[in-house]
Chain A
Amino acid sequence: MIPINKILEIRNLHVTFSTYGGEVKAVRGVDLDLHEGETLAIVGESGCGKSVTANSIMRLIPTPAGKISNGTIRFKGMDLAKATDKQMRNIRGVDISMIFQDPMTALNPTLTIGTQLTEGVRQHQNLSKKEAEQRAVEMMNLVGIPNPHERLKQYPHQFSGGMRQRIVIAIALIGEPDLLIADEPTTALDVTIQAQILELFETIQKETNVAIILITHDLGVVAKVADRINVMYAGKIIEAGTREEIFYQPKHPYTKGLLQSIPRLDQKGEKLLPIDGTPPDLFSPPVGCPFTARCPHAMVVCEKVYPLRHQPTDSHYADCWLYDERAHTTNLNPKKEEMT
């Protein structure tokens, strides 16, 4: 499948947070591309910067602590990193929507579902109450909520967790966005509900051709729905490729480690291999490859210099020294000057 139109292009994105302990470099030079109707998964463990990247696109990083310190976020020819608050308000909910992790807290307990569903379109498209409710009912049908007319008048506490997540998805979709950012949309749900919600994503994409950025730490979720996968570690994308490439030909030792640490039905009795150690401290991130300290194949150069990009196919790359031709010929200890 060759997607045609690129709708989102992130280049060299840096996001920092100032805290009492100093400046946290949460995202350190992320490049990311997204095409129409495509699902891109950003995978990584807690604190790797995947949520911050997503929130940057929506410009929902908590200010004044956090800020986009460098880079561009091109969306439909506009740089979101430099957009004004007013411009952002016209993009949020209309062009880009977001789904949050915990449906139990993402809905306002004091407003009816109907109000929460319709207020976005009513503001942006000047729909009358009736038109907006009609749209809401259509959306509720799309996400599979029975009795939509009655449900509109109810409050969030009258819905189950899975139903609430469907509502959250309906709210995100009602403005007919081109891009949907789902930040761990299934993490807080039961496994059976997770599967339903993932299927819902597939249905929605077929019907609306919306592009989805799926943020998750669950490779099982990724395997089901993602077209392409970006693996994030310590604020950088260290490997990117199609689903098949990442699952069957992982290049980066971190990606391999992640894949070994998920249980598989076809390998009975094998022990899961956790990745030892913890991610580096992002107050003072390492100069070289951030995975060095935990990497079973680490070389001297890894610690000193950030790896050059290894690109086996057009769609696949990994930032790792192991694939450099010099890795096996030299004494695994190239001089610094040569590498930079």
Chain B
Amino acid sequence: MIRYIFKRFLMMILTIWIIATLTFVLMNAIPGSPFNEERTSNEAVQENLERHFNLDEPPIVQYFAYLKSIVTFDFGPSIKKPNDTVNDLLARGFPISAELGIISIVVALFSGIALGVIAALRHNGFIDYLAMTIAVLGISIPNFVLATLLIQQLAVNTGIFPVATWQSPMHMILPTLALATGPMAIIARLTRSSMLEVLTQDYIKMARAKGLSPTKVVIKHALKNALMPVVTILGTLLAGILTGTFVIEKIFAIPGMGRYFVESINQRDYPVIMGTTVFYSAFLVFALFLVDIAYGILDPRIKLHKEERG
């Protein structure tokens, strides 16, 4: 197990390095510079600024300086927000983004699984059709459409919820709903179909033949097996929720990391682009690693490491 984690860790570092390098290449490939808009600055000022941020160096030198900043986790000051370092921005934005993302994935997981299980147990009944209708709607409506609809109906027209920002639990409901509905629908459909398959298995009949209660049969025997496909797509869903937070944060004016990420690209704020990209990718890569570990816990047949023969 330790060997596996070590190997995975090396792979994670490699992945992040590739992402970082690609970001650097792409960033240098797009035209424009952080100082393009500043009409007032004359050439001398611009040169001074470029020197200050090491932008006058050849790309290869910049690249190594940048790799060094990743390793030391010190991305330096933002070009556009001279009072803040990139680390300040991350420290300010990440807790909020993480809150939104984690609440959403938890809501999506629990409601999706519950919906899927109920639908499977009432197969071809009214509840099944209702749950699957909700699921199809959830999959078909993009989160930004859902977000605007929710704001229009539940905030502007009826005033039940606040329109935007991120302050109290009431503020969190609409963004979470907008972000979690899509993944929830996918999880519900997947849980239902794999649950239906598992329920026909011999070991379920065997569990019933032992005289176990229906709840025990479903929770202990069926659900654990039915959740394998859900765990498989959890990685993809996490990536989806992560990119979803950019959009949702923008719509609801939530001061999370997503805003800095999008702004920094528009303004060519190189240190912030680098910092946020590496941070996001490291987060996702680590989440995927946790998903793989979860496999091994759910299904003992999946060996994460080579076992000594015995």
Contacts and interface: CB of A to CB of B under 8 A. Distances in A.
Contacts of A31: none
A60 B211 contact: no
Contact of B211 (A94, A107, A112): A94
B136 interface: no
Interface in B18-34: none
Contacts of B43: none
B224 A91 contact: no
B230 to A, nearest CB: 14
Residue among B206, B220, B221, B299 with max Cβ neighbours from chain A (10 Å): B206
A32 B123 CA distance: 35
B209 A93 contact: yes
Interface string B210-251: 111100100011001100000000000000000000000000
Interface stretch (B2-10, B197-205, B273-281, B285-293): B197-205
A98 interface: yes
Contacts of B205: 60, 100, 106
Contacts of B52: none
A108 B225 contact: yes
A143 B78 CA distance: 72
A228 interface: no
A119 interface: yes
Contacts of A119: 210, 212, 216, 220
Nearest 7 interchain pairs by C-beta:
A92-B211, A93-B211, A120-B210, A93-B210, A105-B202, A108-B203, A155-B300
7 contacts: A60-B209, A92-B208, A109-B225, A110-B298, A123-B210, A123-B213, A171-B206
Given A89-B211, A110-B224, A111-B224, 9 more contacts: A88-B211, A91-B211, A106-B203, A106-B206, A108-B206, A108-B207, A120-B212, A157-B301, A171-B210
Interface of A: 58, 60, 88-94, 97-98, 100-102, 105-112, 119-120, 123-124, 155, 157, 168, 171-172, 175
Interface of B: 201-203, 205-213, 216, 220-221, 224-225, 298-301
